[in-house]
Amino acid sequence: MEPNETKLDNARQMKKYLLGVIIIVAGFLLLLSNIGFLPFELKNIIFSWQMLLIGIGVISLFSSESRTPGTILILIGGIFLFPRLIETLGIDIRFDVWHLFWPLILIGIGGLILTKRLPRNAWKRPQRLVNNQTMNDGYIQEENIFSGGKQRVMHQVFRGGHINCIFGGSEVDLTQSTLGEGVNELEINTIFGGVTLIVPSDWRIQLKMTSIMGGFADKRSYVKENPDTSRILIIKGSTIFGGGEIKSY
Q: Give the neighbor-by-neighbor strand order of the sheet with 148-158.
A: 128-130, 148-158, 169-179, 194-198, 243-247, 215-218
Average model confidence (pLDDT) across the chain? 76
Can you tell me the distance from the alpha carbon of 170 to that of 178, in angstroms, rounded to the nearest whole number? 20
Sign of CA dihedral 219, 11, 7, 118: positive
Who wins on pLDDT, 102 or 138? Answer: 138
pTM beyond cutoff 0.85: no
CA atoms of 175 and 181, how far apart (whole Å): 17
The predicted structure's pLDDT at residue 196: 92
What 3-state DSSP class applies to 120? coil
Residue 229 clears pLDDT 60, i.e. is over it: yes
At residue 123, the pLDDT reads 39
Bridge partners (DSSP) of residue 233 are 184, 205
pLDDT exceeds 60 at position 8: no
Give the chain's count of helices (H) and strands (E): 5, 11
pLDDT tens digit sequence for 52-80: 888 888 877 776 655 667 777 788 888 88
Q: How far is CA 57 from the centre of its chain?
A: 9
pLDDT at position 234 is 92
Give percent of the chain above pLDDT 70: 74
Q: Which is nearest to 207 in space by CA: 172, 233, 174?
A: 233
Share of the chain above pLDDT 90, in %: 8
CA distances from 110 to 68, 107, 113, 215 (A): 11, 5, 5, 26
Model confidence pLDDT, tens digit, residues 156-206: 888 888 888 888 889 999 988 888 888 999 988 888 889 999 998 889 999
Cα–Cα distance measured from residue 156 to residue 216, given in angstroms and rounded to the nearest whole number? 25
The domain ranges of the chain are: 3-115, 128-247
The band of 120, judged by pLDDT with boundaries at 50, 70 and 90, is: very low
The span from the CA of 70 to the CA of 19, in Å, is 14
